[in-house]
Amino acid sequence: MRWLKNKDSLYSVLVLLPSVILIAVFVYGFIGQTVYTSLTDWGKDPSQALSANPQIRFIGLENYRELFTGLVDSRFRQDLVNTIFFTLFFILGCLALGLGLAMILDRGPAGEGFFRTVFLFPMSLSFIVTGTIWRWMLQPAGGVNQLPTVVGLPKGGFAWLTSREQVWQFSWNDLPLYTALVVSAVLMWIGLTAFRGGQRRRGWIAAGSAGLLLLWVLVIGDRLQLLPYDEPHGFNLAFIGIILAAVWQMSGYTMALYLAGLRGIPEELREAARVDGATEWQLYRHIIFPMLAPITLSAMIILGHISLKIFDLIFAMAGADNAPTDVPALLMYLTTFRANQIAKGAAIGTILLILVALVIVPYLYSQLRSEVRR
């Protein structure tokens, strides 16, 4: 009991205790409960799904196996692909637009404050409101498609939220192959940089692992079939409408971040670069953009976890049942509360948690480490 040296530390423990207990139960306890549920067969038998005392059996990773390789779960796999494309375009869109707007505002145009408010305004809306507005604009019979008729052109025919077209298709069966190729490429790159930096041991380990993985690709990965048939997945064009709305909502936020970053760069630095004969492009390329890199990283983390768990925007824009714009979070809702497949819903939830953790945990780790160093 040495840490209870004085009253102050006793007080601090007492003050912290309720929130520690609450978080332990309502966050981590429930995460554990969900993960456990995902390993059971709760909901497989309809007569047990909603009974007062359901008999629930532990079945291990069966739900996950079904989600990734089962006959009837192709929708989940398409949803995963949707999420990845959505995240990619959403982040790229927000970063590009936000940076562009920030650079324009940084030049101090007339009415800067006004424009800053205008650009930041969408962020004050909830995704439900954004979704409703954009649904009106993108609805098939009216909205944006009618715009050309104003100047006498024929009306547009793009099915914003309802298109069934897919581009960049690949077969789900090739997934292990592609994953292995990407991972080995990353390992190769790590190895190369290690060799260049003189860390020979690290380099050899990375290069060796990459080689093993490539060998696996050549020998086994080629023949590994997750499904007995080829199942095409790709980028649903219907998502373009959703991405537009999401970028509209969040690019103001990245603009604010970038603007703060740009304002934080001292004028002397730019002056010095200009005196040294740097062109405006070189100034941005070598001075300003590198200094904005940490901001880009935090923006990517925030936007990344928003896009992985997005639900309300799509629910409002296209409804829960519109499969071309479906994402895992929506599917989890449908699976749990409509189909009563409670364990499978929990499994989808767990996969979402893992995805978000993949984004957040490395960030938190690096943040905590730099704080400790300070």
Partner 1 sequence: MRSLKRWLAVAALGLGVASLAQGSGKLEIFSWWAGDEGPALQALIDLYKKRYPGVEVINATVTGGSGVNARAVLKTRMLGGDPPDSFQVHAGQELIGTWVVADRMEDLSSLFRQEGWTTKFPKGLLDLLSYKGGIWSVPVNIHRSNVMWYNPAKLKEWGVTPPKTWAEFLATCQTLKGKGLEAPLALGENWTQQHLWESVALGILGPDDWARLWRGQLKFTDPKMINVWNTFGKVLDCANKDAAGLSWQQAVDRVIEGTSAFNIMGDWAAGYMTTTKKLEPGTGFGWAPSPGTSGVFMMLSDSFGLPKGVKNRTNVINWLKLLGSKEGQDTFNPLKGSIAARTDSDPSKYSPYSQSAMKDWKTNKIVGSLVHGAVAPESFMSQFGTVMEIYLNSKNAQAAANAAQAIATQVGIGR
Structure tokens at 181: 């190729």
How far apart are CB 320 and partner 1 at their closest, in Å?
8
Based on the shown chain and the rule CB under 8 A, indicate whether residue 65 belongs to the binding site for partner 1: no
Q: Please, are residues 40 and 57 in contact by the beta-carbon 8 Å criterion? A: yes
The SS3 assignment for 137 reads: helix
Among 88, 92, 190, 334, binds partner 1 (CB under 8 A): 334
Based on the shown chain and the rule CB under 8 A, indicate whether residue 9 belongs to the binding site for partner 1: no
Nearest to 242 by CA among 310, 156, 309, 317: 317
Burial of residue 339 (number of CB atoms within 10 Å: 0-12, 13-18, 19+): middle
Rounded Cα distance between 44 and 32, Å, is 21
Among 109, 140, 208, 362, binds partner 1 (CB under 8 A): 140
Structure tokens at 351: 């996969």
Burial of residue 245 (number of CB atoms within 10 Å: 0-12, 13-18, 19+): buried
What is the per-residue binding string for partner 1 in 93-132, x denoting contact by CB under 8 A?
Answer: ----------------------------------------
| Contact range with partner 1 by CB under 8 A, out of 10-18, 243-251, 277-285, 334-342 | 334-342
- The total number of residues written for the chain in this structure: 374
Based on the shown chain and the rule CB under 8 A, indicate whether residue 49 belongs to the binding site for partner 1: yes
Our CB check for partner 1 shows the closer of 43 and 304 to be: 43
How far apart are CB 44 and partner 1 at their closest, in Å?
7
Q: Please, are residues 147 and 308 in contact by the beta-carbon 8 Å criterion? A: no
How far apart are CB 356 and partner 1 at their closest, in Å?
23
Our CB check for partner 1 shows the closer of 42 and 258 to be: 42
| Contact range with partner 1 by CB under 8 A, out of 42-50, 57-65, 287-295, 298-306 | 42-50
Based on the shown chain and the rule CB under 8 A, indicate whether residue 162 belongs to the binding site for partner 1: yes
Our CB check for partner 1 shows the closer of 73 and 91 to be: 73
Beta-bridge partner residues of 236:
166
Among 58, 168, 229, 281, binds partner 1 (CB under 8 A): 229
Nearest to 303 by CA among 349, 246, 262: 246
How far apart are CB 292 and partner 1 at their closest, in Å?
39
Rounded Cα distance between 226 and 70, Å, is 9
Task: Please identify which residue in the block is written with the tokens 């497949």.
Answer: 341
Based on the shown chain and the rule CB under 8 A, indicate whether residue 137 belongs to the binding site for partner 1: no
Q: Which residues bind partner 1 (CB under 8 A)?
A: 43-52, 54, 71-75, 78, 139-141, 159-162, 164, 229, 232, 238, 318-324, 334-335, 337-341
